Structure 1
């Protein structure tokens, strides 16, 4: 599985815009544009990253479908004596189909571009919420603060930007965590995958798949005692 990782801008970080707070409105507008630009760059990165993954996944899945069809049709044609000696090619086609599916699963192309699309859409939805919240705060500032002071309004705007930045960071972190789990467990057996995903703990839900030998963790059966008879 090829490492893809998070967006490069998130790894390198972006310098926080510093300036004079003598004009709070201009500083807030600058911070909003900085936060919005970072979100748009994150969306653009995920949408660009999903392009080559989707193309590779389509090629592999198309090869798997073609191999499965040829693997089923060629032995039948050989059996019906329509085309003689093509049965071995059918087995080779089936092997090719299995190889295409295995390569797709190992390199995570299908799951990768799906994660990219889901993360980009989630960031876009959160950005729309930010835009409406910021418009609401701007209208409130134009109409005049109905409650609180200008300092409280500034803190409220900063809180909106901070929550948005934290939400976008959590979305990227969640996608990166899913990729890391898939990358670590891509070439390992299924049992090891479950152990890695659960942090090394035993799978309680799957404990009933393999029954324990008799006598292991079994509660001893004590003989029931009769209550004493009244004299």
Structure 2
């Protein structure tokens, strides 16, 4: 596990996606632009653009900063699950019910209520913890989804072992699929794995590039005849 994060998705994501779009869409060139700022709202770690038609530009966003939080959630869930604290809840409830029944001098409350309340407390605690984790994942994905782009990508620096027998990883993949967000990962072997393909968004304007501060420069570079790489 010590080398799990030695390979960073930042070193692989843009080259991988540049090849991906070159093969899938066959544009004249795919421009890679790092640290682009949206005119408002959330900005991606970078975008890939290419000429879609005569005057419009296709934009794919790549997010990796938010992905660090996703990696932490998945790794913690893999190691600890929902945690041991939830096992304390039924014990506390059982003891509380027992002493409540004793103080009321009610044998039924003292002996029966712990049997009912303890498992209910355990299930409720487990449900709330899982809902908390899922909420964190969904919040991150929603942030990425609000980035102006035809397609959205998240890149994770994470071992493939973290996805094995990890219910939270399955939930995240399901949410990515439902929200139309692409997911790529890189682990110890420095191999990029495509986990989920994105779905294309509809733009209210001519294209999503109009939402970016560097729109004019990128549009000229993308629609022109020169292959450029913006730092």
Superposition TM-score, scaled by structure 2 size: 0.32
More strand by share: 2
More helix by share: 1
Superposition TM-score, scaled by structure 1 size: 0.32
Greater relative contact order (Cα < 8 A, sep 6+): 2
